[in-house]
Every structure is written in C-alpha cells, then in structure tokens.
Amino acid sequence: MKICLVAGSGSLPSVFKKSAEKLGEEVFVVGVRGITDVDAQAYFPLGKVGSLVKLLEKQAINKIVLLGKFEHKLLFSHLLTLDGLALKILSKAKDKRAQSIIKALIEELETMGFEFIDPTPYLQDILAGRGLLNTVEPSQEALEDGLFGYDIAKEIASLDVGQTVVVKQKAVVSVEAMEGTQEAILRAGKVAGKGCRVIKVARKHQDLRIDVPTVGLQTLEALRSIKADALFLEAGKVYVVDKEKFLKLADRYKISVVGLPLEANP
C-alpha cells in the first residue's frame, strides 16, 4: 500500500514512516513549508490543499495519514494564503475548532476519492501504558492531583478546547487552548510555581485519524523548567515520542510519568 504522510512538526511523522516501511508500506511524505521537521519528497505552503490534491492524483495515491503538530493558531496567521479548496473546507466546518476543521478536510477529500487511515496500528509501541511508566513513584498529593485533573481534562478535550490541563493542590492552574501544550505548561509555572502536575488526554470519542495527543522531549523540558513533579497520560490514547529516551530522562528529572486510569475501564 502506498500512503501519503502529511507531516507536521516534531518527530512523530518520522516514527510512523519507519514503522510503516518496516511493515512493507510505501510512504510518500508531504511537508508544509516552515512547519515540517522531517525530510519530505514535496513541500507546500500551509493552506494549499488544492495543490496537495493535484500531487496525490499525479502520484496515484489515495491513502492519507495526517501526523505531527500543526499549531491551531497558524490558521489565523495564514488566512490570506488559503487556496480555493481550503476556503471551501473552512466554510463547511461547523466552527473553527481544530477537530471541526480537520473533520471538514477529511469529509471533503473523501468525496474526491481519498481515504484518511488510522495510523495507530503502526504506532502501538509508543502509546502510553497504564500505571507507573518510569521509576519515579508519584507522591500521594501528586497522584490525587492527577486523578482530580483527569476527569476535568477529559471534559475540556471533548469540548475541543485543548487536551492538557495543569493542576496543583486540586486546583486547575491552566488549560491548553490554541497556544499549545508547552505554552500552557509554562504559563502554569508562572501562575503557581513549582509542584504542578500535568494531565494530557484524548477526547472521549477520539477519532484516531485526527490530532491524537502526543508528548515528547520538549514536553518533558517544559515540565522540568517549571519544576513540575508528575505527568499523567491517558493510557492507550497518548503517543510518547522517543519513548525509551523520554522515560529515562523523566527518571533523571525526577518526574513521575503515570498512565491513567490506573485500572481498566469496565
């Protein structure tokens, strides 16, 4: 199978490419200028959806995976560069939330014969597990903050506001919105100082083709910079990029990494 990987920033697209190619897939990488970090065979400016469609038709590719970080706030700085197809998709989105825009993109391209596929079968090894993921046990207070923040984070994520909340002493310090995870974490540090706990989850009915939550080394550095002592991830729903290195570094930084819920849902 030949797959077009539309790659955002970060190393997640590279992880997918390597895994898919090991399984015998052919991966054609399309990058977005100024955003994509991995090497790509073709690049387009943000918002040139029509150009992407023409390229895929020329390459005879109809399977698409969308992975990597595309800052939601970029939409407002690139409105003037959107092509006709992108504007059509934007007009069909029920609102300007990230999930709504991506769903409108998928629906429009599916009417043209394309199929967006679920990348998780190629990324099972980097999904967060359940329970303690590294060797640093969380304090009782940290664990209580994680459990407290988990349900709140799920509600916020399902509203498509953001997928991360930061909690301290059972108070919500910051909520991720358009600025992204790292900025939400850094903002929490400015508000509440050291000892914050970060919780990252998926939406309640997460479409695994769309914006699956991801953490990586930059996330960990943000936690370290605000002296946070615990990171809680939804088990089986959050990608941990560079997982082995990530968990070893969390040990060194004395940050607990825990997969929630602690027990399987009934």
Q: What is the CATH number of the domain that holds 171?
A: 3.40.140.80
**Up-side HSE of residue 131: CA atoms within 13 Å toward CB?**
3
> How high does pLDDT run on average in the chain?
91
What is the rounded average pLDDT of the residues 79-88? 77
Q: Is residue 266 part of a domain?
A: no
Q: Are residues 42 and 98 in the same domain?
A: yes
pLDDT tens figures, 101-149: 888 999 999 999 999 999 999 999 999 999 999 999 999 999 999 999 9
- The predicted model scores a pTM of 0.87
Closest CA to 173 of 192, 150, 194, 186: 192
Backbone angles phi, psi at 9, to 5 degrees: -80, 170
Tally of domains within the chain? 2
Q: Is residue 70 predicted with pLDDT exceeding 80?
A: no
Angle at 180 between CA 99 and CA 246, to 5 degrees: 110
Q: Is residue 198 part of a domain?
A: yes
Q: Is residue 131 part of a domain?
A: yes
- Residue ending a domain, among 74, 99, 122, is 122
Residue 186: the pLDDT is 97
Q: Is residue 84 predicted with pLDDT exceeding 80?
A: yes
CATH number (domain holding residue 90): 3.40.50.20
Residue 100: the pLDDT is 82
Q: How confident is the model at residue 265 (pLDDT cuts 50, 70, 90)?
A: low
Residue 92: the pLDDT is 85
Q: What is the span of the domain harbouring residue 188?
A: 126-260
Q: Are strands 131-132 and 256-260 parallel, antiparallel or unpaired?
A: antiparallel
Q: Is residue 266 predicted with pLDDT exceeding 60?
A: no
Q: Most confidently modeled of 11-20, 65-74, 106-115, 137-146?
A: 137-146
Q: How confident is the model at residue 35 (pLDDT cuts 50, 70, 90)?
A: confident
With a pLDDT cut of 70, the percent of the chain lying above it is: 95
Query: How long, in residues, is the chain?
Result: 266
- Residue ending a domain, among 122, 139, 160, is 122
Q: Are residues 8 and 50 in the same domain?
A: yes
Closest CA to 170 of 200, 202, 192, 186: 192
Q: Are residues 91 and 168 in the same domain?
A: no
